[in-house]
A and B are shown apart, each in its own frame.
Chain A
Amino acid sequence: MNALLELEGVGARYGPVTALRGVDLTVEEGEVVAVLGANGAGKTTLLRAISSSVRRSGGIRFAGRELGRRSPEGTARLGIAHVPEGRGTFVDLTVAENLRLGAYTRRGSMRDDLARVHSYFPWLRDRARQQAGTLSGGEQQMLALARALMQRPRLYLLDEPSLGLAPLLVAEIFRIVEELNRREGATVLVAEQNANAALRAADRAYVLEVGHVVLSGTSDDLARDEAVRRSYLGY
């Protein structure tokens, strides 16, 4: 069977700086996969390469189709929801408008989708008319995730959802990711510096160092791995 997402020898560069080289990676349907690595290891570039937000080399197949030279909006329309680092919330729009934008490419009523989103994020219901910029950092991160839900994507790309959040909120966000996976069979590729939280939620993980994959395996194996524990888990 073919994987939902297959990367083969993917590379990317910013001017003369190589940010990513020779990355092979697969994500099966219904899997939660983590990409771990330090600052500057290339996690963000990897996700941006998948959503066509950055020029890349190598091949990416999504749902059996070569992504090729697609635009970011074209890639989004294929069913890839990228929640960028720093959330990408539309801060001067209301919460409800942010959610409506998630469903932008679909026709018809959003009522079922909103009900689904509110089942994960009940507090969003009362905030519909609030300007997104007035939400706290954690709330904005959740709104960005909720907007991705509205896209009904086949693949979620989450870039460092824990960035700048209190531990309690980090746990809450990963709880929601797990619930999404359990209830809907959502496929998630999440880039994280917080290896503890990510490994707990993920089935498998890749470790990125200076732009290429140095280690990969199931979360349990990686969590037991001596090198990973020392470098990323802190014990």
Chain B
Amino acid sequence: MTVAKPTLEIPRSPLHRLPGGSQVIVAAFLLAGCVFLAIGSARSALFAQETVSGLASGGIYASLAVALVLIYRATEVVNFSQGAIATFTTYVAWQLMQWGISYWPAFVLTLALAFVGGIALERVAIRPVERASQLTVVIVSIGLLIAIEGAVGWIWSSQIRFMPSAFPIHPIHLGGVSFSLEDVGTIGVTIGAVVLLWAFFRFTKIGLAMRASATHPDAARLVGVRVSWMLALGWGFAAVLGAVSGMLAAASPSVLLQPSMMDGVLIYAFAAAVLGGLESPAGAVVGGLAIGVTLNLLASYVGFVTPQLLLPAAFVLMLGILLIKPSGLFGRPKVRKV
């Protein structure tokens, strides 16, 4: 006689982990992009060089984009002040170095200050409008953008400064190709920061509580999670990523240290976040790298694309994504109940 099967044994569908149709297309699309870059890099030293420096700028966009996604996931609000916060923390780093602290200690100290500052900013400026409509929060974030940029100009003047680079200028040679060590270092630091953050969310209890609070705040409260503080922590982490992005961007000769230095980067980061789907940190990283490489290759290979055209190109890209696939590469389509 066979033992009666427990009534609740519902067979696990082998399909539940298989990606859906659109994910297959996205994966194929990304794979094709990687193959294109690999073949191009193998055939041309210049192409390889431009790819790497595109990835470096992409890393800068990616960390700011992840900062945007962190806050968007929790509040469904795009934080327009993210770039200004990054600028402010970069000036802090510069000031620390002016006081004689060497690069890496100043870097780490700045990240710590950014974390505390991000939390404080949330408590002071966002907490009072926590229950207000999203539009209110957006307006507050635009207000912060103006106030912080103003504060930067007021404290440090709007004179252009030179931010030292963490990495030596001399290139490294690999095969017949020479890469700038700064590009390679920038890629390393941004990827490192994002991986650390991912590990925090994936493996720690607070990270888990933050993820739960972002998607199901009410249920999270019922298990004792202090949801409002999780939001503040999110602002802290976003400020840290912004600081990473700002410090690396300011070292680049095309950006330099000035109060409006992150305005352009913020646009690219928006485009990256939108491309990635706004809700997905992994999407923001892929989006950032893709936009960095695409724009860099466009500028060096397509004749009429001058550096002045790159910002409009990012806008066109953003518009295109929003028209064709508003949920981006990794986002889930949202059903809105009316």
* A and B are interacting partners: yes
Closest A residue to B211 by beta carbon equals A93
A138–B209 touching, CB < 8 Å: no
Total A-B residue contacts, Cβ distance less than 8 Å: 82
The chain B residue sitting closest to A92, CB to CB, is: B215
Q: Does A217 reach chain B (CB closer than 8 Å)?
A: no
Chain B positions 179-219 with a Cβ under 8 Å from a chain A Cβ:
205, 208-209, 211-212, 215-216, 218-219
**Once the chains bind, are A77 and B208 in contact (CB under 8 Å)?**
no
Please give me the residue from chain B that is nearest to A78 by CB atom: B224
- Does A216 reach chain B (CB closer than 8 Å)? no
A235 at interface (Cβ–Cβ under 8 A)? no
The distance from the CB of A85 to the nearest CB of chain B, in whole angstroms, is 11
Q: How far is the CA of A169 from the CA of B226 in the complex (A)?
A: 33
Interface segment out of the listed A128-136, A180-188, A219-227: A128-136
For the complex, what is the distance from the CA of A143 to the CA of B9, rounded to whole Å? 14
The answer to whether A72 and B222 touch across the interface, beta carbons within 8 angstroms, is yes
Measured between alpha carbons, how far is A129 from B129 in the docked complex, in Å? 37
Given contacts A92-B215, A131-B16, contact A147 B223 (CB under 8 A): yes
On whether the beta carbons of A101 and B225 are closer than 8 Å, the reply is: yes
B10 touches A (CB below 8 Å): yes
Contact pattern, B 209-242, Cβ under 8 Å of A = 1, otherwise 0? 1011001101111111111000000000000000
Q: In the assembled complex, which residues on chain A have CB atoms less than 8 Å from the CB atom of B302?
A: none
Contact A100 B208 (CB under 8 A): yes
Given A130-B12, A138-B8, A88:B218 Cβ within 8 A = yes
Say which size band chain A's interface belongs to.
Answer: 35 or more
- Given A88-B216, A123-B9, A134-B16, is A100 in contact with B222 using a C-beta cutoff of 8 Å? no
Task: Give the chain B neighbours of A131 by CB distance below 8 A.
Answer: 16
Complex formed: what's the CA distance from A151 to B10 in Å? 26
Other-chain contact of B205, A88, A91, A104, A169 (Cβ < 8 Å): A104
Find out whether the CB atom of A93 lies under 8 angstroms from the CB atom of B208: yes
Task: Give the distance in Å from the alpha carbon of A93 to the alpha carbon of B220 in the complex.
Answer: 12
Which residues, 95 to 151 on A, are CB-close (under 8 Å) to B? 97, 100-102, 104-105, 123, 126-127, 130-131, 134, 136, 138-139, 147, 151
Shortest distance in angstroms between B337's beta carbon and chain A's nearest beta carbon?
A: 14
CB distance from B278 to the nearest CB of A (A): 15
With an 8 A cutoff between CB atoms, is B6 at the interface? yes
B68 CB to closest chain A CB, in angstroms? 20
B205 touches A76 (CB 8 A): no
Q: Find out whether the CB atom of A90 lies under 8 angstroms from the CB atom of B222.
A: no
Cβ-defined contact, B221 with A101, below 8 A: no
Q: Which residue in A72, A77, A93 is a CB contact (below 8 Å) of B212?
A: A93
Determine whether A71 belongs to the interface, using a CB cutoff of 8 Å to chain B: yes
Known: A51-B222, A76-B224, A101-B208. A90 touches B215 (CB 8 A): yes
* Structural contact, A88 and B209, CB atoms closer than 8 A: no
Q: Encode B236-259 as 1/0 by CB contact (under 8 A) with A.
A: 000000000000000000000000
Q: Find the residue from A104, A123, A127 having the highest chain B CB count within 10 A.
A: A104
In the complex, A8 has a CB within 8 A of chain B: no
Closest CB-CB distance, B214 to chain A, in whole Å? Answer: 10
CB of B10 within 8 A of CB of A101, answer no
Could you mark each residue 2-24 of chain B with 1 if its beta carbon is under 8 Å from any beta carbon of chain A, else 0?
Answer: 00001111101100100000000
Complexed CA–CA distance, A147 and B223 (Å): 9
Decide if B222 touches A139 in the complex (CB within 8 Å): no
Q: A82 interface residue, CB < 8 Å from B?
A: yes
Chain A hits for B6, CB < 8 A: 123
- B residues with a Cβ closer than 8 A to A are 6-10, 12-13, 16, 205, 208-209, 211-212, 215-216, 218-227
Chain A residues proximal to chain B, CB less than 8 Å: 51, 53, 71-73, 76-77, 81-84, 88-93, 97, 100-102, 104-105, 123, 126-127, 130-131, 134, 136, 138-139, 147, 151, 168-169, 172
Enumerate the 5 nearest inter-chain pairs by beta-carbon distance, A residue then B residue, closest first.
A88-B219, A76-B224, A105-B224, A72-B221, A134-B16
6 inter-chain pairs at a CB distance below 8 angstroms, sorted by A residue, are A76-B222, A81-B223, A101-B223, A101-B225, A102-B223, A104-B205
